[in-house]
Structure 1
Amino acid sequence: MTQLDGEIAARVPAMGDFAASVPAALSGFDSHVRAMRSGGWSRRFRRMLWILDSAIVVASAFLVPVVLHSYAFAANGMLPRAALQSSIVMAIWLCALSWSHSRDVRVLGVGAAEYRAVFNAGAASVGAAAVLFLLVQAESRSFVFLAIPFGTLALLAERWAARRWLTHRRSDGQFRSKVVVLGQRADVEYVTEQIVKKLGAVYHIVAAVMEDTDDVQSLQRGGNLVPVYNTVQEVPSIVQKFGADAVIVAGQLARGSGFIRELGWELERTNTELAVASSLTNVAGPRIRFRPVEGLPLMHVELPHFTGTRHVFKRVVDVVLACAAIVVLSPLLGVLAIAVRQDSPGPALFRQVRIGLHGAPFTMFKFRSMVVSAEQDLAALTQLNEGAGVLFKLRADPRITRIGKVLRRFSLDELPQLFNVVRGDMSLVGPRPPLPSEVANYDGFVHRRLFIKPGVTGLWQVNGRSDLNWEESVRLDLYYVENWSLAGDVMILWRTFRAVVAPNGAY
């Protein structure tokens, strides 16, 4: 949105009670805003998803079992019964997709929540269909073992394609939610910066309201000039003026929680959502539980677990996938080894001591991308270090060989670490494996990175790698250590493939 000219049309003085400060003209715009929102992009996009979901569910529930068994059904006069069973499965499945909030505007195009909702709906449909058909003694194998799983895969593919389309449209400035950010100056600046950096294609910041300063007129964010206001009472008017879809409260407000509650009541009149940015920046949703006790809403943060069944299953998945990858990639590994040997004198593999789980050292394998004397030449290059924190990085490192530049650009030099995964030194996904010299310079809680095994890939690799500063690298690693999940690992592996195709920060 372009920068607004002038000030808010209606200025109303504060009257102590927040509700009394809401402009009287606000109610006159309610119907207009509701009509605008109801015909907005989210409703059209959700309608499109409903049509596509229904088509896939119908095709899976009707065509798969009926086509596979049409001759048997027809010979035994069971075709009407099969059609009835398909209709029941279709109804259960469509209801499950709605109950799992798979088309909720909060999950559309953001994170893995949408895929998880679709998968959960399919799993619930399998269970419900199996129990129902068992009770009525009906044939259900085609639905339980073929139709619903096949359809769930098709739904996931459809949602992926829809997300790609939505992302493309958002990159053109369309289909983005307009937000107003409210809070103290430091909190507003931080939250707006993070939105533009990480969710710029999802949210469009149309205005900011700072309650502790009056000397800031605008913020430069993502190439846009965001107007800044300092009169908190005018938040509903600002929302109305910009047609905002949501208000994000950044951190704690001087006016207290009562103000946030009353603000939420006022925003209800325009169907504007209220979101609060938690100060628990390194705590993920699965560890947060809201448990009201006698009307007091308590937010419980569960302790992270670094051992247990989930970690055992993670190890099993690591071994299976790493062994499969080694078998499939063995021709490529052989070609790369020969190329490294032919490019410069020295072995194909580079062995280096890294620090793993609980600070235990191990030997990490990589394809050699530098000259053999790289370790000895390091001292002469320390003055040119461009790395973050305790890391040493140099974009134009003279020690890198010709083939090494290609290997590093596409992360091919990391492939031998699959053998480290099989040996148990590393995991497929985890924090970056640090050098002993780096660990020696850790301070504070950075040692928590060593609470789980380092990974071949991780949040650090798919979020910019060497382009990240030290603080951001540590934050990403600590976030993963405390909040990892198998579903999150799958998403990181998928993003790794994308990062390899379009490398960023790899040098």
Structure 2
Amino acid sequence: MTAVIGYAARTRALAAPNSRIRRILPVGLLALDAAIAAITTGAAALLDNGMSFDPDSADLATRTSAPLLVLGWVVVIGLGGGYRTQVLGGGADEYKRVLNATLAYSGIVAFVLFMAQADVSRSFFLFFFLFGLPALLLARWGARNVLHRARSKGHLGVPVLIAGDNRHVDQIHGILDQARWLGYRVVGAVTPADEIGAAVGNVPVVGTTDDVTEAALRADAEVILFAGGSSTSAQDLQEKVWDAEERGIGVVVAQSATGITTGRATYRPVGGLPLMHLGAPAWAQATRIGKRTFDVIGASALLFFFSPLFLFIALRIKLHDGGPVFFQQSRVGRQGVPFRCAKFRTMVTDAEDLLAALHVATGYDGGLFKMDDDPRITKPGRWLRRYSFDELPQLWNVVRGDMSLVGPRPPLPIEVAQYDAAARRRLHVRPGMTGLWQVSGRSDLSYDHSIRLDLYYVDNWSMLQDLHILWRTVGVVFNAKGAY
């Protein structure tokens, strides 16, 4: 306990500047958005004669219209939650808020211009938003990358205390340690009184879940992350949250603490009791015609674009050892329906016969089998795997309807046979060529972590998230991290 308090005291001076910078991050983003909106307005005016900003010739209404357009844009983004610290730097929610706010603002501006019968050309209006929206999203992406790099190097981290039983504390800490770009710096943990004394990885235990707020203050934590086992009942958890908030400590609640995914939840008070209504699950939306149409068009276009690369890869494999170009393996698709998953062959022709011996040599005990230096991989196969080119034939699986461009990792039948009730939820949607597992670490992820990411995708699907994952996949593939 003393060591933890001493550590907090030694790092308090270092953390103070970080804390100040974190507080002004929303202001910096607001200034960035305002600058982009101003540049967009000026560019639209220069490219269109429908509005003049010459101070010597423009009247008062014209001179004030540009600043009002800029101000209104950032105000609507702010009202839409685009500058809330909780959404900055992680997930697709930040982009979604900027997108929705911009679409809403375009409707507001169009209505005002129509009612005022303003003399503004359609080309100015279209350029203003069609150029401005991508520019805003691209700027957010750039700012997020800068923030992620700073966090990965240990800067701008938020001191976090994890509350929960030993198993959940260890699980949450592993996730946060792997995803340092999230900016959570674990300074300690509190566990139930009957688990005090048990080791929790390398996380110092600074108290019990009964005095979680006091422990957070002692450890100089700015946020308490409540995980499974942190409370004995919903009322107990609520009281702990109230106590933390009254002391000025931020609160994050992991799904494991409640067992409910709240992304599709709405609350309706009845007699002072807030009732949580769960809407249709996100996976139901992910199976509809919109996503399928996007898959077919996108996969067909990519097949045409990569056709020269297909020919080069096929020749490279054939000339290496004379074996077959493609390797087909049985995988399990939506609702448990098996299909043949196509890949470029990256292993020796008798790879399946050597698998049993490798299982014994590596102590394989279930799940997806991966080796950092698999001796069965051929020379061209290593290059193909490094950049995931071996998976390009799966585009044909997407066109056929076996797979999707984005989705859970396609599992083997032996994996599905070991699924519990939770893991079987992965089968509600088509497996994907890429997904959260791909952009979060690929083969560096543990089996349990991969399953957890897939379940999150199934429960929180959105088209915007799919586009975000596809965008991130490009960087992950060329970075080649976690590919083997």
Q: Which residue of 2 aligns with 1:349?
A: 326
| Whole-Å separation in 1 of the counterparts to 2:288 and 2:50 | 48
Query: Are positions 1:148 and 2:125 aligned together?
Result: no
Q: CA deviation at 1:293?
A: 2.0
Q: Which residue of 2 aligns with 1:244?
A: 221
- Give 1:69's aligned amino acid: D
Query: What aligned pairs does 1:248-327 form with structure 2 within 5 A after superposition?
Result: 248-253=225-230, 256-257=233-234, 260-279=237-256, 284-304=261-281, 306-307=283-284, 311-327=288-304
Describe the superposition over 1:222-265 as per-residue Cα deviations: whole angstroms up to 9, x where unpaired: xxx535223844x4444444443222233355565555555445
Q: Which residue of 1 aligns with 2:343?
A: 366
Change (3 A) 1:391 1:96: same
Change (3 A) 1:474 1:275: closer
Query: What aligned pairs does 1:140-219 form with structure 2 within 5 A after superposition?
Result: 141-199=122-180, 201-213=182-194, 215-216=196-197
Q: Which residue of 2 aligns with 1:90?
A: 70
Gaps of 5+ in 2: none
Alpha-carbon contact 1:73-1:79 (below 8 Å) kept: no
| Whole-Å separation in 2 of the counterparts to 1:210 and 1:219 | 9
Alpha-carbon contact 2:227-2:257 (below 8 Å) kept: no
| Whole-Å separation in 2 of the counterparts to 1:220 and 1:306 | 35
Q: How many residues align?
A: 476
Q: Which residue of 1 aligns with 2:472?
A: 495
Query: Are positions 1:228 and 2:206 aligned together?
Result: yes
- Give 1:230's aligned amino acid: T
Which of the two has higher C-alpha Rg? 1
Describe the superposition over 1:473-500 as per-residue Cα deviations: whole angstroms up to 9, x where unpaired: 3333333333322122122222322221
Alpha-carbon contact 1:288-1:301 (below 8 Å) kept: yes
| Whole-Å separation in 2 of the counterparts to 1:259 and 1:434 | 39
Q: Which residue of 2 aligns with 1:126?
A: 106
Alpha-carbon contact 1:283-1:482 (below 8 Å) kept: no
TM-score of the aligned structures, taking structure 2 as reference length = 0.86
Sequence identity percentage? 38
Describe the superposition over 1:387-406 as per-residue Cα deviations: whole angstroms up to 9, x where unpaired: 66243334433332110111
Q: CA deviation at 1:446?
A: 4.0
| Whole-Å separation in 2 of the counterparts to 1:281 and 1:482 | 15
Between 409-418 and 245-254, the greater mean CA deviation after superposition: 245-254
Alpha-carbon contact 2:325-2:345 (below 8 Å) kept: yes
Change (3 A) 1:280 1:389: farther
3-state SS of paired residue (2:204): strand
| Whole-Å separation in 1 of the counterparts to 2:246 and 2:93 | 28
Q: CA deviation at 1:317?
A: 0.8
Q: Which residue of 1 aligns with 2:44?
A: 65
| Whole-Å separation in 2 of the counterparts to 1:390 and 1:8 | 40
Gaps of 5+ in 1: 10-31
| Whole-Å separation in 1 of the counterparts to 2:286 and 2:189 | 45
Q: Which residue of 2 aligns with 1:400?
A: 377
Q: CA deviation at 1:123?
A: 0.8
3-state SS of paired residue (1:279): helix
Q: CA deviation at 1:67?
A: 0.5
Query: What aligned pairs does 1:4-83 form with structure 2 within 5 A after superposition?
Result: 4=4, 40-61=20-41, 63-70=42-49, 73=52, 81-83=61-63
Q: Which residue of 2 aligns with 1:474?
A: 451
Change (3 A) 1:257 1:451: closer
What RMSD, in angstroms, separates the aligned Cα atoms of the two structures?
3.5
| Whole-Å separation in 2 of the counterparts to 1:57 and 1:293 | 43
3-state SS of paired residue (2:125): helix
Q: CA deviation at 1:190?
A: 3.6
Change (3 A) 1:449 1:189: closer
Q: Which residue of 1 aligns with 2:87?
A: 107
Alpha-carbon contact 2:332-2:339 (below 8 Å) kept: yes
Q: Which residue of 2 aligns with 1:22?
A: none
| Whole-Å separation in 2 of the counterparts to 1:451 and 1:349 | 28
| Whole-Å separation in 1 of the counterparts to 2:435 and 2:289 | 19
Between 265-274 and 120-129, the greater mean CA deviation after superposition: 265-274
Alpha-carbon contact 1:176-1:204 (below 8 Å) kept: yes
| Whole-Å separation in 1 of the counterparts to 2:19 and 2:378 | 57
TM-score of the aligned structures, taking structure 1 as reference length = 0.82
Q: CA deviation at 1:411?
A: 0.9
Q: CA deviation at 1:412?
A: 0.7
Between 304-313 and 118-127, the greater mean CA deviation after superposition: 304-313
| Whole-Å separation in 1 of the counterparts to 2:45 and 2:445 | 54
| Whole-Å separation in 1 of the counterparts to 2:134 and 2:21 | 26
Change (3 A) 1:265 1:395: closer
| Whole-Å separation in 2 of the counterparts to 1:38 and 1:353 | 51
Alpha-carbon contact 1:283-1:479 (below 8 Å) kept: no
Q: CA deviation at 1:457?
A: 1.4
3-state SS of paired residue (1:506): coil
Alpha-carbon contact 1:3-1:227 (below 8 Å) kept: no
Q: CA deviation at 1:197?
A: 3.3
Alpha-carbon contact 1:118-1:156 (below 8 Å) kept: yes
Q: CA deviation at 1:337?
A: 1.5
Between 82-91 and 254-263, the greater mean CA deviation after superposition: 254-263
